[in-house]
């Protein structure tokens, strides 16, 4: 019998007892790489790169990415929350149960399955195994619950982010568990290369009845209200195990606690009731570790590595020979992934860190590991310059983490369109045509809030001190200048030239975030005037005018200059360092459109066209 290693995994969770009577299914070190690559040529390259890890353990690559966006799940009126989930991989989008078949587009399923099988074939040819990483129990179409009302489980959408309610199936219902077991069996039968399965829940499209932290509050079917979360999870996990058993496989599962929403009490209960061969976080038998590149924090900008941070994550990787290492290369809910040029260097850094200390004792220190990588990529002539650049970059990133960690280029820059929307004093004076290229893509279920409140971040409010932004932007530009000085003879000169460009683009995005925050603070202070009619200024002589007039004009000018500089960076080749939609139909709250440069030029024009709007609300300087 061939065993399938599906470990239950919850990041950051305290250990509350032995997980599973059977112990770890997998022995030794295991690497699980998560990258939602859809292009098969890029996937082949990723597989070839990952082979460098084979001497250090078993290597698996996630093949559960969708071939296309789940357009059928998005309401006709649009919905920001549904866009979170529109790229969710889940077994029912690859191998739907007969009950589900009428409710999911057949061509959508066919293309997903074809991509899955093609990736599995490539892994088989290279002697690697596959993983499937998804979201469970994922919400299902309303028509499905009309047909099978007894299977209706918890409402799982976010009221402040969704225009339409959504429900997941109830795990307590026997038919639900049979459906999940059937789909798991079909997937494992069709794709024997899959030897690990994991999922996140209670967030971004998935949820379990009566969970403490569901976004609408604990809710679900009355019949299962008295079950504990551990009992519910046990039912779900046993359904998967039963499905695997149907095709002669042992079943265990990874639950991604870092991305799932469980209260501490629920975590303790889940851990106590895990089935055999199921794991929550690390145990004495198997350690769980995570390493990531920079894309998850710097999206939509690609092509940046921070060796100090990466080697820091790898520091304890040799502590336990039975370690599962999850390597994250994805971002923006599977809309982006680290390009091959970056993943190659990440795997090279892993190789350095994994080299046995008895062979290379000098690389056990992070600083020495970075120096070793600098020598490899920069050569003898540039090792010192490259190492200095890495130090400067790490100091900048460390500063941001300490000074303003909640400002995220994805959630602020992209989903609020601070990158490419015009910064003006009175947004209500923009025409529908002027708003058309950005307003539909701002993450907000209220058009008025999206239009008028620059600092509404997914239904909450944010702010940032301009001084810390300026400090960070200055630090990033300094690091970029150092990467640009790497000697022409350096083996990786071209990569670091592009990386410098990426850093300057990233700095521009954060600079926009600071400008919009500062602008909204002024708009808040003058809310009464903004809500009133346009009027002539008073006739009192003043060298400064209204105290907010000059500061707001300076913010507008800085954002205008920032936009001009960003256009220049993109036209110099930086557009290749940005993750963009391949066509306009894929542009959404999390993914910028394909005509990004043109949108930036529109932003500039609209700002200039509305430059004098402020004069109808605040008094200008007058002598």
Q: What is the pLDDT of residues 289-320, one digit of tens each?
A: 899 999 999 999 999 999 999 999 998 888 88
Q: What angle do CA 212, 235, 120 make, to 5 degrees?
A: 105
pLDDT for the residue 25:
62
**Alpha helices (H) in 535-611, listed in sequence order:** 549-571, 596-609
Does residue 621 form part of some domain? Answer: no
List of residues 6+ apart from 532 with CB closer than 8 A = 617
Q: Does pLDDT of 16 surpass 70?
A: no
pLDDT in tens, 188-216: 999 999 989 999 999 999 999 999 999 99
Scanning the structure block, which residue is given the tokens 């568990």?
A: 177
Q: Do 276 and 391 lie in a common domain?
A: no
pLDDT for the residue 280:
74
**Alpha helices (H) in 51-164, listed in sequence order:** 80-85, 106-125, 142-147
Does residue 563 form part of some domain? Answer: yes
Does residue 349 form part of some domain? Answer: no
pLDDT in tens, 481-490: 999 999 999 9
- Tell which of 285, 302, 329 closes a domain: 285
Q: Does pLDDT of 61 surpass 80?
A: yes
- Tell which of 285, 303, 332 closes a domain: 285
Q: Does pLDDT of 622 surpass 90?
A: no
Does residue 435 form part of some domain? Answer: yes
List of residues 6+ apart from 337 with CB closer than 8 A = 35, 36, 37, 295, 329, 330, 331
Distance CA 6, CA 108 (A): 26
Nearest Cα to Cα of residue 136 among 186, 89, 72: 89
Give the pTM.
0.93
Q: Does pLDDT of 540 surpass 90?
A: no
pLDDT for the residue 20:
37
> What is the four-CA torsion angle of 246, 249, 250, 255, rounded to 10 degrees?
-90
Owning domain of residue 244? 1-25+72-101+132-285
pLDDT for the residue 374:
96
Q: Do 275 and 389 lie in a common domain?
A: no
pLDDT in tens, 342-396: 999 999 999 999 986 445 555 568 999 999 999 999 999 899 999 999 999 999 9
pLDDT for the residue 17:
29
Helical packing angle, 466-484 and 366-403, nearest 10°: 150
pLDDT in tens, 437-474: 999 999 999 999 999 999 999 989 999 988 999 999 99
Q: Do 415 and 547 lie in a common domain?
A: yes
Q: In this predicted structure, which of 30-34, 61-65, 537-541 has the lowest mean pLDDT?
A: 537-541
Does residue 332 form part of some domain? Answer: no
pLDDT in tens, 591-614: 999 999 999 999 999 999 999 999
- Tell which of 285, 309, 326 closes a domain: 285
pLDDT for the residue 252:
66
Using only C-alpha atoms, the chain has a radius of gyration, in whole angstroms, of 26
Q: Do 395 and 270 lie in a common domain?
A: no
Does residue 141 form part of some domain? Answer: yes
pLDDT in tens, 551-589: 999 999 999 999 999 999 999 999 999 999 999 999 999
pLDDT for the residue 538:
76
Q: Does pLDDT of 30 surpass 50?
A: yes
Does residue 80 form part of some domain? Answer: yes
pLDDT for the residue 251:
66
State how many domains the chain has: 2
pLDDT in tens, 83-126: 999 999 999 999 999 999 999 999 999 999 999 999 999 999 99
Does residue 301 form part of some domain? Answer: no
């Amino acid at each position: 019998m061939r065993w399938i290693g599906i470990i239950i995994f919850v990041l950051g969770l305290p250990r509350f007892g032995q997980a599973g009577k059977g112990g770890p299914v997998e022995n030794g070190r295991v690497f699980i790489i998560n990258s939602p690559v859809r292009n098969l040529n890029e996937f082949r390259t990723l597989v070839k790169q990952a082979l460098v890890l084979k001497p250090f353990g078993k290597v698996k690559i996630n093949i559960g990415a969708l071939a296309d966006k789940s357009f059928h799940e998005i309401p006709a009126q649009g919905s920001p929350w549904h866009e979170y989930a529109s790229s969710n991989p889940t077994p029912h989008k690859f191998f739907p149960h007969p009950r589900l078949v009428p409710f999911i587009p057949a061509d959508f399923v066919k293309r997903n399955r074809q991509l899955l099988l093609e990736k599995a074939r490539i892994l088989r040819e290279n002697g690697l195994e596959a993983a499937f990483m998804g979201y469970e129990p994922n919400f299902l179409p309303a028509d499905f619950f009309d047909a099978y009302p007894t299977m209706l489980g918890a409402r799982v959408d976010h009221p402040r982010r969704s225009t339409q309610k959504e429900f997941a199936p109830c795990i307590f219902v026997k038919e639900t568990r049979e459906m999940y077991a059937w789909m798991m069996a079909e997937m494992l039968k069709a794709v024997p290369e899959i030897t690990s399965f994991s999922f996140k829940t209670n967030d971004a499209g998935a949820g379990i009845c009566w969970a403490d932290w569901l976004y609408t509050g604990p809710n679900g079917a009355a019949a299962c209200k008295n079950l504990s979360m551990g009992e519910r999870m046990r039912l779900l996990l046993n359904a998967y195990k039963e499905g695997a058993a149907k095709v002669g496989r042992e079943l265990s599962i990874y639950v991604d606690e870092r991305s799932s929403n469980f209260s501490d009490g629920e975590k303790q209960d889940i851990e106590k009731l895990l089935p055999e061969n199921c794991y929550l976080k690390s145990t004495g038998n198997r350690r769980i570790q995570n390493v990531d590149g920079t894309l998850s924090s710097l999206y939509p900008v690609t092509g940046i590595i921070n060796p100090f941070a990466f080697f820091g994550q790898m520091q304890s990787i040799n502590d336990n020979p039975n370690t599962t290492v999850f390597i994250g290369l994805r971002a923006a809910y599977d809309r982006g992934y680290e390009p091959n040029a970056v993943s190659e260097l990440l795997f090279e850094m892993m190789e350095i860190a994994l080299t046995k200390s008895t062979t290379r004792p000098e690389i056990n220190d992070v600083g020495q590991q970075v120096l070793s990588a600098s020598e490899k990529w920069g050569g003898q002539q540039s090792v010192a310059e490259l190492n200095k650049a890495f130090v400067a970059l790490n100091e900048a990133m460390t500063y941001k983490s300490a000074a303003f960690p909640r400002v995220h280029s994805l959630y602020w820059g992209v989903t609020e369109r601070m990158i490419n929307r015009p910064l003006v004093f009175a947004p209500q004076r923009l025409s529908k045509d002027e708003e058309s290229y950005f307003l539909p893509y701002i993450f907000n279920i209220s058009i008025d809030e999206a239009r008028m409140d620059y600092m509404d971040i997914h239904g909450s409010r944010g702010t940032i001190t301009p001084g810390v932004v300026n400090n960070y932007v200055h630090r990033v530009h300094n690091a970029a200048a150092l990467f640009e000085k790497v000697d022409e003879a350096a083996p990786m000169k071209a990569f670091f030239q592009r990386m410098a460009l990426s850093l300057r683009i990233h700095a521009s995005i954060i600079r926009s975030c600071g400008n919009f925050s500062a602008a909204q603070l002024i708009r808040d202070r003058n809310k009464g005037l903004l809500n009133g009619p346009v009027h002539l200024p008073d006739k009192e002589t003043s060298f400064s005018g209204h105290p907010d007039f000059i500061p707001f004009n300076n913010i507008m000018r800085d954002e205008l200059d920032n936009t001009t500089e960003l256009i220049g960076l993109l036209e110099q080749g930086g557009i290749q360092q940005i993750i963009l939609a391949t066509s306009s139909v894929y542009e959404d709250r999390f993914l910028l459109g394909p005509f990004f440069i043109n949108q930036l030029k529109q932003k500039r024009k609209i700002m200039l066209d509305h430059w004098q709007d402020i004069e109808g609300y605040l008094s200008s300087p007058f002598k």
